[in-house]
Structure 1
Amino acid sequence: MRLIIAEKPSLARAIADALPGQPRRSDGAIEVGTTTVTWCLGHLLEQAPPDAYDPRYKQWRLDHLPIVPDPWQLMPRPKARGQLAVIRRLLKAASEVVHAGDPDREGQLLVQEVIEHLRWRGPVKRLLINDLNRPAVARALGRLEDNARYQALYRAAQTRARADWLYGINLTRAWTLTGRQAGHDGVLSVGRVQTPVLGLVVRRDLEIANFTPRPFHVLWADFSVAQGQVRAWWQPGEQHPLDDQGRLLARAPAAELAARLPDAEGRLSELDSRDKRQAPPLPYSLSALQVDAARRYKYSAKQVLDTCQALYERHTLITYPRSDCRYLPRAHHAPLADALPRLCQADATLAEWCSGADFTRRGRAFDDAKVGAHHALAPTGKIPDMARLSAVEANVFRLVVRNVLAQFHAHLETREIKACFEVLGERFTASGSELLVAGWKPLFTTRDETPPLPPLTRGEPARVSAAEVEDRETRPPEPFNDASLIKAMMNVARYVDDPDVKRTLRESDGLGTEATRAGIIETLLDRGYLVRAKAALHASRTGHALIASLPDPATRPERTALWEQRLSRISESDDNEQAFLGALLGDLRSLLSAADAGRMRQALGSAQGVEAAPPRRGTARKQSARGKKRTTQRRRAGKPSGGKP
């Protein structure tokens, strides 16, 4: 019997449907002829906790640190024991095993660690699938490879998991124990990803709190021309006091000029007109969808993720949602072109958006070369019963369909016009936009972002009919919300200065992955490090104190970039995992030596931030004894979740 082990049930179903024969479902598996397809449920295994290596580690002590497992151990996740037993039983009857994890580093780890944990010693083939369409899966089944080719990728993923364990377990214990010495009651959790995310919010909060507004001044003038009126803005020269963004810091020059402008005669000295074509926005990755849904509907990142899972699993209306890709396979073009007109008729909004589509058009989103382990979110083609969807589900479904539907609309075409007026020896500029072809734009907004200018002719006279100085102030940055924090995690390179680190962070997934970003935010909220105030996210006093007490490198994203550089080299057999872990231990010992009760006490005493809300109902088990609760929290902190970091 050939046994195929897929990463998730949806992939297992797609594989079974592409095999010749009639699928027959059994407990935890699907049989098709002489092939049985089973699946993992995400990670079935997790890193063992410290006390699995030595019972004395049940007690948290600074003199135990760093804890370094040797040899490393995995243990079943509590909710995964049943499926692990299914795979164990099927392996005993198998003559050949096929690894069908996602074609990426974590997918390689997820299935292979199960195969090795269950001590399979026979041959293993590798099945690489990034498109769940039946023809694509059938082609992949005809191109099985030897899994040995992907051992370097497995070692890189395994090294990442072990490094995260070493980093999280040891620093969490160190800072929790130091916090106790400084009078803090509770776990202070530290992680390679969650702590830099918290650091982003803390630094933004401090930037807002320490912001000093600076006044600046702008001068506008209304110019009467042959066919209308144009409002233009003064461009003061370098002889005036300007800030680094060219804003005028002194009011007097603007006021003096404004007094001389009314009825002054000038001319249109420069006129630049350029036609622009803009392709439709791409279909969504999960993070891009979370950003747009937060902006449009104020949905939290977790709310969007949970809604997508319901649309995928319960309603089967969209494809696999935890994707970091914004492109679709070319083979999806024809099925979508066929299905979209029918499914859009189920909803008035979708029907309106569909009316201008040209389903012979092939947008730039259909590009096999840019499809990775997963493709972009897309409708499955199933006709929705909108009455069975909640309001949130309906809104998120419309967004997913809209961005795919946009690929069948024409480019947006505009004429961008920039005008420069000269009067009294000074320059005033205006800009406008003329819509030539609406294309995909009506699917996203019905308003003009830049109003058009009246017809203009270079050199024509222009008389000033009115002018005024406006007094303004610089404004602090906005606090983070779900949308902007997810976007910051996606584009974290903008928050670092080192060019090599910037490049690595651009090439990697930033902080977290599509599957984990919402969970990271929720974890920080549940642990009381972040507080949600309406739509804004702020760090709590505890969050501020934790960041202030840690060495600065532990609170910034550079470490993720440096890890990614070496993990990439390990995955290409250009680096050694033992050397990486050895260097990490040296770094870890340096960080542990910085754990200081005095610094912690000072951080706790001077921490800004807001008070955290009480723990959410259901996030922690109520316990009568305070000591018992403390022990449970420590054990939880001692077992960081697995999966993609």
Structure 2
Amino acid sequence: MSKALYIAEKPSVAQEFAKALQLHMTRGDGYLESEEAVVTWCVGHLVTMSYPEAYDPALKRWSLETLPFLPAEFKYEIIPSVAKQFKIVKSLLTRKDVERIYVCTDSGREGEYIYRLVEQMAGPEVSRKDRRRVWIDSQTEEEILKGIREAKALSAYDNLAASAYLRAKEDYLMGINFSRLLTLKYGNTLSNLMKKDRTVLSVGRVMTCVLGMVVRREREIRNFVKTPFYRVLVSLECAGTVLDAEWRAVSGSRHYQKPYLYKENGFKERSYADALVKELSQPEPVTACVRKLEKKAEKKNPPLLFNLAELQNVCSRTLKLSPDETLKITQELYEKKLVTYPRTDARVLSTAIAKEIGKNIGGLKAISAVREYADTILAKGLHKNIAKTRYTNDKQITDHYAIIPTGQGFSALKNLSPMHTQVYSKIVRRFLSIFYPPAVYRKYTLEAEIQGEHFFAGFRILEEEGYLTIAGVPQTSSKKGQEGESEAETDMKNDPAFLEALSGIRKGAQLPVQQLQVKEGETSPPKRYTSGSMILAMENAGQLIEDEELRAQIKGSGIGTSATRAEILKKLVTIQYLSLAKKTQTITPTLLGEMVFDTVNASIRPLLNPELTASWEKGLTLVAEGSITEEEYMQKLEGFITRCTEAVLGVNNSYYLRGTYQQTAPFYKKP
């Protein structure tokens, strides 16, 4: 009797497939079997690329003469620590009674690569069998069975596999060639400068670019010179309430466009601000004439759903979790069937899932903290038109839709750690928020005049909480002229007395001036990256873009992928090129990291260019889409490595590095 073989990426996932199949299975060594089916698993990667010495023993010794290393055909080998499981999987793949193979590794580029390597090493007879790809968004029984039913021929994913192989080859070739090249050329120089026995430079396509972003930011902060500026503020009496407004040099002001201004709302020197206050304070009593009072409603829509980068950013900011920790927690929530696939770049739903979203919402009624919201959504039918909103867009989805709760798996909730529960809660609340109406604010804009000079104030009051009922109302805050910008709206509590005072103001009214004062400020240096903001910057090709619409426009042009960014940051910290402050999640370079940056900057500068690094990732996406061939990509890759190697061999920057070390080292001297 012929059998179907199911190959998962991990033992825990294999168990879920075995349960979903509902067959009477007996346990073997490294697999489960019934009369109809066999379920087995990898343990992550079972196969890896061979080191250069596998091609030629002489290549074990690092030498400039053997660079660049560009093999015509790549060699692979079984990872010794998991050789036993590989033999088990191979024996099952090649069994005569196994006629159909279901590939159930993670639904993404890396999962595809894990299986393809195993098949490649198992022998050519496997490729002659009926192989099908199971592609799922969650590990619920329903989704697993649907994935098996709708499994496509494995060949439909050949382009994805090609891009996976190319990603590995690219990282391998850049890592080996550039790490050996720069270590041989400058390792001794760095060792002498830093008084170390030996320095091996670790260089990579993505990690070196990320290092560059952090070092450049640190140097911007280091070289920043604070600029003081002076603003003039007025306090106006209004029906027992005090309104604060800010002077601006608008058209008609005697200071309009004068060179001594700092932007339009301040002065570079205090004497001008003091003179303006003195001038406007006479004769007493001083009043301000209201020239304009506008009020309008402003709606704020719920944010888009979480993709991995957005979730990592939020958890870094609010829970002080590193991206690696957030990914690990979310992966565990996925394996417990609580949330959908975490390694996604999409922040929207697919049309197909939007049609069935009521099941996810209904399931959440089992959670007391959000039961009321789920009930309201279903009772009022707030979910029925979600497919026609910005939260559903098939064009913005490549492999998987956004991270959302499955509405299942609640038996695992009671055993979750507090941190797992908090991450899960954020995913649930972000999901439920999109079905609620927008928050509604009432905005007031006031313009008053004193002796021809104009003062402005803005207030924003939350009138209807809308989705903030679920997501939480932000703390009221006053954004007072950061960086010398004009004063933003002040978020106010919904205070009836304050609203009544504002509503009573009419154009032409004279408001008594309680106080005119000068307020000193100073420009601020750029902020250091946190682990979360770095993930966002990587997602957006080196730009820290908070605006959702702008981020959507350059989607697919990021540095690294949702699956790899956290690991890259973690590696840079592990090899001590970067430091990560646990309490704040702030990222800073180390002295070694800065010296590696300077070495690369003087030798292979394109590696530090975020746009170029992102273009390599975009190229891999084009291969996955079938827009360009593997051969075209490899030709460009080998050409880049050859040109960079020749350039490095042609110059010597040791003297330059001594100079940069002397400039940088004083910042790392312990007090």
Tell me if TM exceeds 0.5.
yes
Name structure 2 gaps, 5 residues minimum.
192-197, 251-255, 478-490
Secondary structure, aligned partner of 2:235: strand
2:484 maps to what in 1? none
- The structural deviation recorded for 1:608 is 4.4
Q: Quick one: distance in 2 between partners of 1:247 and 1:545?
A: 41
Secondary structure, aligned partner of 1:233: strand
Match 2:307 to one of 285, 299, 302: 285
2:258 maps to what in 1? 240
Match 1:546 to one of 596, 613, 620: 596
- The structural deviation recorded for 1:287 is 2.6
- The structural deviation recorded for 1:545 is 0.8
2:289 maps to what in 1? 267
- The structural deviation recorded for 1:27 is 4.2
1:116 maps to what in 2? 120
Secondary structure, aligned partner of 1:607: helix
Q: Deviation digits for residues 276-326 of structure 1, max 9, x if unmatched?
A: 33233344333322222221232222333333344455x665444433333
Q: Quick one: distance in 2 between partners of 1:425 and 1:606?
A: 52
2:465 maps to what in 1? 438
- The structural deviation recorded for 1:339 is 2.8
Match 1:514 to one of 538, 556, 562: 562
CA contact (8 A) 1:541 1:609 kept: no
Q: Quick one: distance in 1 between partners of 2:669 and 2:540?
A: 27
Q: RMSD between aligned alpha carbons?
A: 3.3
**Residues 601 and 353 (structure 1), Cα distance of their counterparts in 2 relative to 1, 3 Å cut:** farther
Alignment size in residue pairs: 602
Match 1:211 to one of 206, 217, 224: 224
Matched, 1:338 2:376: no
1:85 maps to what in 2? 87
1:481 maps to what in 2? 530
Q: Deviation digits for residues 197-224 of structure 1, max 9, x if unmatched?
A: 1111100110011011111111111223
Q: Give the % identical residues.
A: 28
Q: Quick one: distance in 2 between partners of 1:248 and 1:234?
A: 11
Secondary structure, aligned partner of 1:234: strand
**What TM-score comes out, normalization by structure 1 length?**
0.83
1:622 maps to what in 2? none
CA contact (8 A) 1:414 1:433 kept: yes
- The structural deviation recorded for 1:505 is 9.3
Secondary structure, aligned partner of 1:192: coil
- The structural deviation recorded for 1:130 is 3.1
Q: Deviation digits for residues 79-114 of structure 1, max 9, x if unmatched?
A: 433332232111122212233445544443332232
Match 2:422 to one of 386, 395, 402: 395
| Aligned pairs (5 A) from 1:417-456 | 417-442=444-469, 443-445=471-473, 447-449=475-477, 450-451=491-492, 454=499, 455-456=502-503
Task: Tell me the amino acid that sits aligned with residue 575 of structure 2.
Answer: R
**Residues 322 and 465 (structure 1), Cα distance of their counterparts in 2 relative to 1, 3 Å cut:** same
Secondary structure, aligned partner of 2:492: coil
2:481 maps to what in 1? none
**Residues 407 and 353 (structure 1), Cα distance of their counterparts in 2 relative to 1, 3 Å cut:** farther
1:465 maps to what in 2? 514
Q: Quick one: distance in 2 between partners of 1:286 and 1:326?
A: 9
Q: Deviation digits for residues 115-160 of structure 1, max 9, x if unmatched?
A: 2221223143333333544444434433333333332332222122
Q: Quick one: distance in 2 between partners of 1:494 and 1:446?
A: 25
2:485 maps to what in 1? none
2:612 maps to what in 1? 559
Q: Quick one: distance in 2 between partners of 1:387 and 1:580?
A: 49
Match 1:587 to one of 624, 637, 640: 640
| Aligned pairs (5 A) from 1:166-245 | 166-184=173-191, 185-226=198-239, 228-237=241-250, 238-241=256-259, 242-243=261-262
Deviates more, 1:324-333 or 1:414-423: 324-333
1:68 maps to what in 2? 70
Deviates more, 1:316-325 or 1:144-153: 316-325
Secondary structure, aligned partner of 2:204: coil
1:639 maps to what in 2? none
CA contact (8 A) 1:504 1:564 kept: no
Q: Quick one: distance in 2 between partners of 1:608 and 1:270?
A: 57
- The structural deviation recorded for 1:225 is 3.4
**Residues 278 and 384 (structure 1), Cα distance of their counterparts in 2 relative to 1, 3 Å cut:** farther
Deviates more, 1:284-293 or 1:520-529: 284-293
Secondary structure, aligned partner of 2:554: helix
**Residues 371 and 22 (structure 1), Cα distance of their counterparts in 2 relative to 1, 3 Å cut:** farther
Q: Deviation digits for residues 53-88 of structure 1, max 9, x if unmatched?
A: 111121111111111123201222344333322321
Secondary structure, aligned partner of 1:121: helix
2:483 maps to what in 1? none
Q: Quick one: distance in 2 between partners of 1:358 and 1:23?
A: 41
Q: Quick one: distance in 2 between partners of 1:476 and 1:609?
A: 20
Match 1:324 to one of 336, 345, 366: 345
CA contact (8 A) 1:528 1:542 kept: yes
Task: Tell me the amino acid that sits aligned with residue 319 of structure 2.
Answer: Y
**What TM-score comes out, normalization by structure 2 length?**
0.80
CA contact (8 A) 1:264 1:424 kept: no
Q: Quick one: distance in 1 between partners of 2:43 and 2:150?
A: 25
CA contact (8 A) 1:539 1:610 kept: no
2:103 maps to what in 1? 99
Deviates more, 1:239-248 or 1:222-231: 239-248
- The structural deviation recorded for 1:377 is 4.4
1:47 maps to what in 2? 49
- The structural deviation recorded for 1:460 is 4.1
CA contact (8 A) 1:95 1:122 kept: no
Q: Quick one: distance in 2 between partners of 1:611 and 1:69?
A: 42
Q: Quick one: distance in 2 between partners of 1:386 and 1:117?
A: 40
**Residues 441 and 564 (structure 1), Cα distance of their counterparts in 2 relative to 1, 3 Å cut:** same
Q: Quick one: distance in 2 between partners of 1:566 and 1:509?
A: 9
- The structural deviation recorded for 1:509 is 5.9
Task: Tell me the amino acid that sits aligned with residue 589 of structure 2.
Answer: A
**Residues 591 and 514 (structure 1), Cα distance of their counterparts in 2 relative to 1, 3 Å cut:** same
- The structural deviation recorded for 1:365 is 8.4
- The structural deviation recorded for 1:11 is 5.3
- The structural deviation recorded for 1:586 is 2.4
Q: Quick one: distance in 2 between partners of 1:196 and 1:378?
A: 34
Secondary structure, aligned partner of 1:358: helix
CA contact (8 A) 2:337 2:408 kept: no
Deviates more, 1:57-66 or 1:282-291: 282-291
CA contact (8 A) 2:4 2:102 kept: yes
Q: Quick one: distance in 2 between partners of 1:355 and 1:399?
A: 15
Q: Quick one: distance in 1 between partners of 2:14 and 2:6?
A: 8
Name structure 1 gaps, 5 residues minimum.
497-501, 614-645
Q: Quick one: distance in 2 between partners of 1:583 and 1:603?
A: 32
CA contact (8 A) 1:357 1:409 kept: no
Q: Quick one: distance in 2 between partners of 1:20 and 1:166?
A: 45
Q: Quick one: distance in 2 between partners of 1:503 and 1:386?
A: 33
CA contact (8 A) 1:546 1:603 kept: no
2:628 maps to what in 1? 575
**Residues 574 and 310 (structure 1), Cα distance of their counterparts in 2 relative to 1, 3 Å cut:** closer
Q: Quick one: distance in 2 between partners of 1:261 and 1:161?
A: 69
